[in-house]
Amino acid sequence: MNKINVKILLLFFISLTAQAKLAVVTTTTDLKALVSEVGGEWITVDAIAKGTQDPHFIEAKPSYMTKTSHADLVVSIGLDLEVGWLPSILRGARNPKINPGEKGNLEVGPLLDPLEVAQGKISRSKGDVHPFGNPHVNLDPIRMGKAAVFIAERLGQLDPVHMTSFLEKAKALQRRFESKTKIWQTRIDKTKIKKIVTYHKTLTYFFDRFHLENPAILEPKPGIPPTSGHILEVIQVIKDQKIRLVMVENFFDSTVTHRLKEEVPFVRTADIPVDVDGEAQINNLDDLYEKLVQTLEGK
Amino acid sequence: MRGYIFLTIFMVSVQPVFAEVKASKAFNPDISANFLGLFQRFNQGHDDRDQSNHNGVSLQEAELQMTSDVDPYFRASVLLSVSQAKGSTDSGIEPEEVFFETISLPRVTLKAGKFKAALGKHNQLHTHAFPFLDAPLISGDLLGGEGLNEEGVSAAVLLPTTWFSELTVQAMGTNNDALYNSSSSGHIAPVAYWKNLWDLSDDLTFELGVFGTQGNNSFTSTTSAYGGDLIFKWRPTSGGKYKAFVWQTQYMAGSRLGNPTGEKIGGISSWIQYQFAERWWAQARGEYEGISQSTTLPKKNKQSVLLGFFPSEFSGLRVQLDRLVVENLPNEYKFAFQYNVSIGAHPAHAY
C-alpha cells in the first residue's frame, strides 16, 4: 500500500513539473506581445510598463518587485532604456535567477545591431543620450522578428522540452513580419512621404527600415522639452523641406503642434501610439506597425 | 614603407594594452557625485559661519558614491559625504554609508556595514532625495540631524504575499547622539520595519509601514522609538509625464527614559507633492510635535511650502518657505533656495 502511495505521489509531482509554466516578466508591452506569441501556452507573461507610458520614466513600484520575485525570465530592451528603474526592481525582487548576466535575464536591444551608438566621448550636455545606441528597436519589424528568435532560444534554454515549439513560433512570426514589411514598404512608398518630424527619436528604427528621414525633432535635445526658439527652427525646417507630417508619440504633450499648424497650414499632425496597448485596438505588434503605416497614409 | 611597418608594429604592440585598459575599466564601480548648495535667511538665524545652519550661502553637502558587484555573492556601496564640520568653517568627510549586501540569496538581502537604519521611509533617504529641504521636525529632534545611521547588520525579507510586503530586521550600534549615545560600544539596538504596498489601481498605490527600535541610552536606561508611514501616490498611466500627486504622513514617537529634559516626545508630519508640469512640483507640509509628549518639552508647529523646478533628472532648483512656532519662543520664518546637481552614473530611482 505504501509503495502505491509513493508512486501516486511521484506521478503527482511529475505531472506538476510537466505543467509548470515559465513565468516571464517583460519591461514593455511590445516585448510582452513577442513573448506571448513565442511562448504560447507554455509560459505566463506580464509587462511592467503600460503602452501609454514613456518607457524611459517608469517608477520602480515595489509591486513590480513582487511580480519579478517569482519570474523565471525577465526580458528587457536594454541599451539603457530602463536604466532609471529596472535595476531597482531587480534588486528588490531578491531573485538570483534574474540577475544581470544570468540565464533568466535577457536584454534584446544589444543583440539587434543598434543604431546611433555613441562614438568618442559623450556628454549629458547633449541631453539624455544613450551611449550604447538608440533603444527604440521595437518599431522595426525586422529587428523584432530577430528578437523573437532570441527570446525563443532563451525560453528553450529554460524549458528544453518545448524548445522546438518556441523556435517554430518565433520563425513563423519572423517570416510574417518580413512578408508584411514588404507590403508596408509599398504602401509607404505610395504616400510619397519621405520626411517626418517627431517629438523624440522614438521612430528612428521605423524610419531606417522604411527609408524615411527625420530631419527635425521637436525636442531640442533628447529628454529636453521643446523651447520657443527651437520650435521656430523646426518650423523653418518644415517650410524649407516642405515636410507634410508631424508624428507625436502619444505619451508626450502634443499641444506644441498647435503652433506648428498655425505657422504651417499644409502640415498634418498625428498623435501616435508607439507601443502595444498604446491606444485602444493596438493589441499586438502587427496592429502597431499597421497603425503607423495608416498614419502615413492619412487614414 | 618604414613608417607603415613602424605603425603596424605600434598597433600590434599597443592593442593588448588598450584591451587591458578597457577590460580593467569594465570592472570599475559605478561612480556618481551629488552636491547641494544652499542659500537661506531666517529671522531667528545667526550669521556665525562656524555654525552649520547659518544665514547666507553654503555648500550643504557633497556626496561621492561608488557601487559595484564584489563577486557572484555580494554587492558593495561606498558613499562618502563632505559637509561643514560642527563648530568650524572647515569641511569634514565621513563615511555616510559603507556596506556590502548579498545578491545571490532568494527572497532575502543580508547587509553589513554602516548604513541608514530602516526606521521608516524618510530615515533611509539621502539629503538630496528629501522631499523637502530639511527632514521632518520629529525626525530631527528624535534622531538628530543625520538620522539614525549606524554600523550594523540587516536582513530584509520579501514575504510570500500577493502584495509587496517586506520585513527588515537590523542590529545597529548605539552611537547616535540624539537617540542613544550609550556608554558602551558593546550595546546593540534592534530595529524592525514592516513595509507594505498595494496597487489600488494602475495609477494609485497605498503604502503602509510600521517601525521601531529600542536600545541603551546615555542615562543608563533605555530609549525606544517607533512610528508609522502612510503614503498615497498617484501617477496616471496616461499623461503621467506631466502630473502626479503624493500624500505622505509620518508619525514618530520616542521614549528616552532617564532624560532630565523630558522623556517622551512624539510628532507627526504630513505633506503633499503635486507635479503640475513636466519639470515642476509644488509642495506643502504641516507638522506638529507634542503628541503624548512630556510637558517639559515645548510643543512645536511648522508649516512649509516648496516650489521645485527640475531641468533634467540630474539637476533641480527648489525654493522653500517655513514658519516654525515653538512654545514660549518667538516665531521663526525662513526662506531657503537650494540647488541639487548630480553627475556620473545614472541613478536608479527609489519609489
Size of interface A-B (CB pairs under 8 A): 97
Joined grid coordinates for residue B136:
521632518
The answer to whether A271 and A254 have CB atoms below 8 angstroms apart is: yes
Question: What is the share, in percent, of chain B residues with pLDDT greater than 70?
Answer: 93
Please give, rounded to a whole number of angstroms, the shortest distance from the CA of B269 to a CA of chain A.
Answer: 23
Domain limits, chain B: 30-344
Q: Tell me: the pLDDT tens digits for A203-244?
A: 999 999 999 999 999 999 999 999 999 999 999 999 999 999
Nearest CA in chain A to B205: A61
Per-residue pLDDT, A112? 97
Cell of B259: 532624560
Q: Does B280 touch chain A (CB under 8 A)?
A: no
Q: What is the mean pLDDT of residues B162-173?
A: 97
B156 pLDDT above the threshold of 50: yes
Nearest CA in chain A to B108: A94
Composition of chain B by helix, strand, coil, percent to 5:
10, 55, 35
Tell me: the pLDDT tens digits for B19-37?
A: 555 566 778 999 999 999 9
Q: What is the pLDDT of residue B16?
A: 52
> Cβ–Cβ of B241/A225 closer than 8 Å?
no
CB atoms A52 and B237 under 8 Å: yes
CB A207 within 8 A of CB A231: no
At residue B234, φ and ψ (nearest 5 deg) are: -125, 125
Residues A72-96 have pLDDT tens digits of: 999 999 999 999 999 999 999 999 9
The answer to whether A271 touches A250, Cβ cutoff 8 Å, is: yes
Cα–Cα distance between A104 and B294 in angstroms, integer?
Answer: 55
State phi, psi for B303 to the nearest 5 degrees.
Answer: -125, 140
Q: Which of A64, A66, A82, A99 to mutate to test the interface with B (most CBs of B within 10 A)?
A: A66
A92 in contact with B, Cβ within 8 Å? yes
Helix (H) or strand (E) holding A16: helix A2-19
If we measure between CA atoms, which residue out of B164, B240, B249 comes closest to residue B202?
Answer: B240
Q: Which of A143, A112, A109, A140 is nearest to A206 (CA)?
A: A140
Question: In 3-state terms, what secondary structure has residue A154?
Answer: helix
Q: How many Cα neighbours within 13 Å face the side chain of A268? A: 12
Closest residue in chain A to residue B155, using alpha carbons only: A94
Q: Which three cell numbers stand for residue B280?
A: 515642476
A217 in Cβ contact with A201 (< 8 Å): yes
Residue A25 β-bridge partners? A46, A74
Residues of chain B contacting A223 with CB distance shorter than 8 Å: 312-313
Q: For the segment B223-274, what is each residue's pLDDT rounded down to a tens digit?
A: 999 999 999 999 999 999 999 999 999 999 999 998 888 899 999 999 999 9
Q: What pLDDT shows up at residue B249?
A: 98
- For residue B239, the chain A residues in CB contact (below 8 A) are 251
| Chain-chain contact of B158 with A80 (C-beta, under 8 angstroms) | no
CATH no. of A2-108+132-175: 3.40.50.1980
CA gap A130, A55 in Å, rounded? 14
For residue range B49-64, what is the model confidence (pLDDT) as tens digits? 777 778 899 899 999 9
Q: How far is B55 from chain A (nearest CA, A)?
A: 33
Would the CB atoms of A69 and B107 count as touching at under 8 Å? yes
Q: Are B86 and B52 in contact (CB under 8 A)?
A: yes
Confidence grade of residue B46 (pLDDT, cut at 50, 70, 90): confident
* CATH pick for B30-344 out of 2.60.120.10, 3.40.228.10, 3.40.309.10, 2.40.160.10: 2.40.160.10
Interchain CB distance below 8 Å, B313 and A128: yes
User: What's the CA gap between B105 and B116, in Å, rounded?
Assistant: 22
* Max avg pLDDT among A138-152, B133-147, B168-182: A138-152
- Axis-axis angle for helices A86-93, A62-69 (nearest 10): 60
Which pLDDT score, from 0 to 100, does residue A2 have? 56
What pLDDT score was predicted for residue B6? 46
Q: Give the integer Cα–Cα distance in Å for B190 and B167.
A: 13
- Taking an 8 Å cut-off on Cβ atoms, the answer to whether B351 and A62 are in contact is yes
User: What superfamily would CATH give domain A181-297?
Assistant: Nitrogenase molybdenum iron protein domain (3.40.50.1980)
B66-91 pLDDT tens trace: 999 999 999 999 999 998 877 777 88
Is the model's pLDDT at A257 over the cut of 90?
A: no
Residues of A in contact with B313 (CB under 8 A): 84, 128, 223
Nearest to A96 among B106, B314, B349 (CB): B106
Our CA-based measurement puts residue A77 at a distance from the nearest CA of chain B, in whole angstroms, of: 17
Q: Are A30 and A48 in contact (CB under 8 A)?
A: no
Residue with cell 542659500: B39
Distance in angstroms (rounded) separating the CA atoms of residues B305 and B286: 9
Residues of B in contact with A93 (CB under 8 A): 158
B137 SS3 class: helix
Crossing angle of the two packed helices A29-39 and A285-297, in degrees rounded to 10: 130
- Which residue in A97, A99, A96 sits closest to A86, CA to CA? A99
Give the C-alpha separation, B85 to B58, whole Å.
12
Q: How far, in Å, CA of B268 to CA of B265, rounded?
A: 11
Are β-strands A105-107 and A73-76 bridged in parallel, bridged antiparallel, or unpaired?
A: parallel
The owner of cell 528629501 is: B130
Cross-strand pairs, B321: B305, B335
| High-pLDDT (> 70) share of chain A, % | 94
**Type and span of the H or E element at A166:** helix A163-191
- pLDDT of the residue at B231: 98
Q: What is the mean pLDDT of chain B?
A: 91
Residue of B nearest to A80 (CA): B346
Q: Using DSSP, state whether B36 is helix, strand or coil.
A: strand
- Residue extent(s) of CATH 3.40.50.1980 domains in chain A: 2-108+132-175, 181-297
Which residues are CB-contacts of B106 (< 8 A; sequence separation ≥ 6)?
A: A94, A95, A96
The C-alpha cell that represents B28 in the structure block? 570599475
